């Protein structure tokens, strides 16, 4: 892995040292590029000592190297990661301004770009910044959104640089996905060319009042990994996604929803074309029977909310399954195989993918998963895998089931 790490001028620049270390632990070669103002927070010597490479911070530094440096780096990297990315950097990137080495590198590279913004809360929430973020997302730029916390300006709010380990994890995921798609690009590996895969991902959100709701901890990473794997194997993909903070694969048809009812409608509307359905979303089982029109005020008394069942999307898909393969998911905290096997029988799915969400390395919002594949043919326990690798194993099993059905 070859990564260009851009560092721009804000107090969070010191955390880029941790990002650099994390990338190196993942086996990456990292070329650090600093904006001129970034050097006022952390010296280039710090990054040079750790990376082992000369840090670039000036477009016009005399050199004996005859190559055009920003073009050479732009063409050789697997990823351009900017952490931290200031509001000024976002504005430059969004508007095509190339007045220093980093902004020129951004506009010169065809590699994936990942930005980790950091700034004052008011700056992050300003309409100009949000518009720049929107424009960049539309162009395929990916983000590790800032978190909320205590900021350097002694206020609390959104704008805090994401944790270095989260930035590193996302960077590695992007590169691994790109490499996997590249390795799967040969025609003999495009085993899903004739398939239209319908995938659900993420949580749903059931409103209690205009500011509160019922949801769950699903990050959407597993469903998005299945979408990436299916696309790399030649399938057309429709991704119905609940509210998540990660970017979908660029080639997927994406339908964004909030509630279980909205997800049900989107799935049923898209079911006709689908030949394979993968129901990876964590759909709320219940919703408030009545949604308050105004914020419910705290008055010191217990609050009782009557809940009603939501739509059973998996059962509805199975009832209308026809010849398509239907795969459900079971997120459990105990009796994994027993509960998932019961779900297989009750829903009528072809395959249930079960995992223990209480496990720290295979639960919510991590990059790995330890799944169990349960079908009428038996139980297959898989080792700890990246979610992308697990996605391919799920699609392998779907292909096997389909082949067995054809030859039955």
Known catalytic residues are 153
Between CA 383 and CA 204, with CA 233 as vertex, the angle to 5 degrees is: 70
Alpha carbons 30 and 78: distance in angstroms, whole number: 10
Alpha carbons 218 and 193: distance in angstroms, whole number: 29
Between CA 69 and CA 75, with CA 71 as vertex, the angle to 5 degrees is: 120
For the chain, report the end-to-end CA distance as a whole number of angstroms: 45
Secondary element (H or E) of residue 255: strand 253-256
Alpha carbons 109 and 98: distance in angstroms, whole number: 12
Half-sphere exposure of 9 (CA within 13 A, CB side): 10
Take residue 398 and report the two structure tokens written for it: 């779907």
Take residue 67 and report the two structure tokens written for it: 């190559």
Give the chain's length. Answer: 408
Residues 6 or more apart whose CB falls under 8 angstroms from that of 26 comprise 1, 168, 172
Alpha carbons 354 and 336: distance in angstroms, whole number: 7
If one counts every other C-beta atom within 10 angstroms of the C-beta of residue 313, the result is: 25
């Amino acid at each position: 892995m070859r990564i260009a790490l851009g560092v721009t001028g804000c107090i969070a620049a010191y955390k880029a040292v941790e990002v650099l270390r994390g990338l190196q632990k993942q086996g990456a070669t990292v070329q650090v590029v600093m904006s001129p103002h970034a050097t006022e927070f952390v010296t280039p010597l710090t990054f040079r000592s750790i990376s082992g490479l000369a840090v670039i911070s000036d477009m016009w530094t005399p050199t004996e190297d005859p190559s055009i440096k920003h073009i050479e780096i732009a063409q050789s990297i697997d990823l351009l990661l900017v952490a931290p990315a200031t509001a000024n950097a976002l504005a430059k990137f969004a508007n095509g301004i190339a007045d220093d080495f980093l902004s020129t590198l951004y506009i010169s590279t065809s590699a994936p770009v990942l930005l980790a913004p950091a700034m004052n809360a008011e700056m992050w929430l300003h309409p100009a910044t949000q518009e720049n973020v929107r424009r960049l997302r539309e162009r395929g730029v990916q983000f590790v959104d800032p978190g909320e916390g205590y900021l350097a300006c002694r206020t609390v709010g959104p704008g805090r640089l994401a944790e270095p380990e989260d930035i590193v994890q996302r960077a590695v995921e992007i590169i691994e996905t790109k490499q996997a798609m590249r390795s799967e690009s040969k025609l003999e590996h495009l085993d899903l060319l004739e398939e239209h895969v319908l995938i659900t991902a993420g949580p749903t959100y059931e409103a209690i009042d205009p500011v509160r709701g019922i949801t769950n901890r699903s990050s959407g990473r597993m469903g998005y990994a299945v979408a990436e794997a299916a696309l790399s194997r030649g399938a057309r993909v429709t991704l119905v996604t609940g509210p998540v903070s990660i970017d979908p694969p660029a080639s997927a048809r994406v339908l964004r929803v909030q509630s279980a009812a909205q997800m049900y409608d989107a799935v049923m509307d898209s079911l006709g074309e689908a030949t394979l359905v993968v129901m990876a979303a964590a759909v709320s089982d219940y919703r408030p029977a009545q949604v308050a029109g105004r914020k419910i005020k705290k008055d010191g008394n217990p609050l009782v909310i009557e809940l009603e069942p939501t739509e059973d999307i998996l059962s509805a898909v199975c009832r209308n399954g026809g010849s398509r393969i239907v795969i459900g998911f079971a997120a459990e905290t105990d009796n994994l195989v027993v509960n998932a096997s019961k779900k297989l029988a009750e829903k009528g799915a072809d395959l249930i993918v079960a995992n223990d969400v209480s496990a720290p390395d295979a639960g919510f919002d991590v990059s790995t998963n330890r799944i169990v594949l349960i079908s009428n043919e038996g139980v297959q326990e898989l080792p700890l895998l990246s979610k992308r690798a697990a996605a391919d194993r799920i699609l392998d099993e779907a292909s096997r089931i389909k082949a067995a059905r054809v030859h039955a």
